[in-house]
């Protein structure tokens, strides 16, 4: 399978470490990364399933820790950039749109919805707040533009804009056995027509009862119900509620999508 650069391919994977939504939980992330580092062997690949930003109070430090871990893994012999993949989640999509809030039809409603989804801690991480955003909205489009420029500048100064731009919408193994997504897919659409379903899909994931587009398993990293590790014949759902008073989960998968090991922090 080939696709545009919004997708990524895991080549020659023998095992794949998949990490659920982190949501700014630095300590949990550091624990999981340490355990994976100790267990990582040649042929292993690694994928973060989105939602690195948001909810937890250490958003900026969490991104830095992930970037450091990525450099550590890729420094190993015969490892390449496509062996360590990070997906775009709902939090990253919201942040991208928030930095363009001046173009929203109803900026106030958009902001309130995003705040309800946990974006406030990301605002705080990059030198702003919900109060600053609301004040800009009250003053009109020019003030909103000035405010979005400020948070964009802080994001770039942290060195995180390039990271955000590099995130993938989905990933799959070269053999086509496993598809990785943030939240969901619509089984009735081809992979290149999923659009926002990857992070805003609702009940479509639970309707996957047969192999989707030839994939043996579809693996996701965000579950709105935070049900933990849930495995069916054709899916793996991996989210116990990190950032929502639950632990951070990671699994080691075989190249056929079987869960070999589970980590929790």
Q: What is the residue-wise DSSP string for 96-135? A: HHHTTGGG-TTHHHHHHHHHHTTTHHHHHHTT--HHHHHH
Asked whether residue 77 falls in the same domain as residue 104, the answer is no
Asked whether residue 182 falls in the same domain as residue 122, the answer is no
Sheet-wide strand order for 7-10: 7-10, 170-173, 178-181, 217-220, 235-239, 228-231
Asked whether residue 116 falls in the same domain as residue 204, the answer is no
Distances (CA, A) of 22 to 5, 61, 82, 145, 239: 24, 12, 21, 30, 9
State how many domains the chain has. 2
pLDDT at 175: 87
Residue 207 lies in a domain: yes
pLDDT at 4: 60
CA atoms of 235 and 226, how far apart (whole Å):
15
Asked whether residue 138 falls in the same domain as residue 32, the answer is no
Q: Whole domain around residue 101: which residue ranges?
A: 93-157
CA atoms of 8 and 16, how far apart (whole Å):
14
* Domain-ending residue, one of 133, 157, 181: 157
Report which of 62, 51, 213 is spatially closest to residue 117, judged by C-alpha positions.
51
Asked whether residue 145 falls in the same domain as residue 204, the answer is no
Question: Nearest 5 degrees, angle CA 202-CA 9-CA 184?
Answer: 5
- The DSSP 8-state label assigned to residue 179 in this structure reads E
Residue 239 lies in a domain: yes
Residue 204, domain CATH = 3.60.21.10
pTM of this structure? 0.95
Asked whether residue 257 falls in the same domain as residue 181, the answer is yes
Residue 2 lies in a domain: no
pLDDT at 2: 46
pLDDT at 210: 93
CA atoms of 38 and 28, how far apart (whole Å):
16
Residue 69 · residue 30 · CB < 8 Å: no
Query: How many of the other CB atoms lie within 10 Å of CB of 236?
Result: 21
pLDDT at 68: 98
Asked whether residue 226 falls in the same domain as residue 120, the answer is no
Please list the pLDDT of the chain residue by residue as tens digits (265 residues): 445 689 999 999 999 999 999 999 999 999 999 999 999 999 999 999 999 999 999 999 999 999 999 999 999 999 999 999 999 999 999 999 999 999 999 999 999 999 999 999 999 999 999 999 999 999 999 999 999 999 999 999 999 999 999 999 999 998 889 999 999 999 999 999 999 999 998 778 988 999 999 999 999 999 999 999 999 999 999 999 999 999 999 999 999 999 999 999 9
């Amino acid at each position: 399978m080939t696709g545009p650069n919004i997708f990524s391919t895991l080549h020659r994977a023998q095992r794949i470490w998949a990490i659920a939504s982190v949501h700014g939980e630095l300590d949990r992330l550091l624990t999981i990364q340490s355990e994976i580092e100790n267990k990582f062997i040649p042929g292993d690949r690694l994928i973060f399933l989105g939602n690195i930003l948001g909810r937890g109070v250490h958003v900026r430090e969490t991104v830095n820790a992930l970037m450091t871990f990525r450099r550590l893994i890729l420094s190993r012999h015969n490892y390449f950039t496509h062996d360590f993949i990070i997906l775009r989640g709902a939090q990253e999509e919201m942040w991208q749109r928030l930095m363009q809030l001046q173009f929203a039809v109803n900026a106030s409603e958009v902001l309130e919805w995003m705040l309800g989804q946990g974006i406030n801690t990301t605002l705080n991480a990059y030198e702003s707040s919900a109060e600053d955003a609301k004040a800009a909205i009250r003053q009109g489009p020019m003030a909103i533009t000035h405010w979005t420029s400020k948070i964009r500048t802080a994001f770039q100064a942290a060195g995180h804009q390039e990271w955000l731009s590099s995130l993938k919408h989905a990933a799959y193994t070269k053999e086509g056995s496993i598809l990785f997504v943030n939240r969901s897919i619509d089984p009735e659409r081809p992979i290149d027509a999923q659009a926002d379903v990857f992070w805003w899909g609702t009940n479509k994931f639970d309707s996957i009862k047969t192999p989707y587009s030839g994939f043996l398993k579809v693996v996701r990293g965000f579950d709105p119900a935070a049900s933990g590790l849930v495995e069916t014949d054709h899916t793996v759902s991996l989210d116990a509620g990190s950032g929502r008073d639950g632990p951070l989960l990671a699994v080691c998968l075989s190249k056929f999508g079987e869960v070999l090991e589970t980590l929790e922090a």
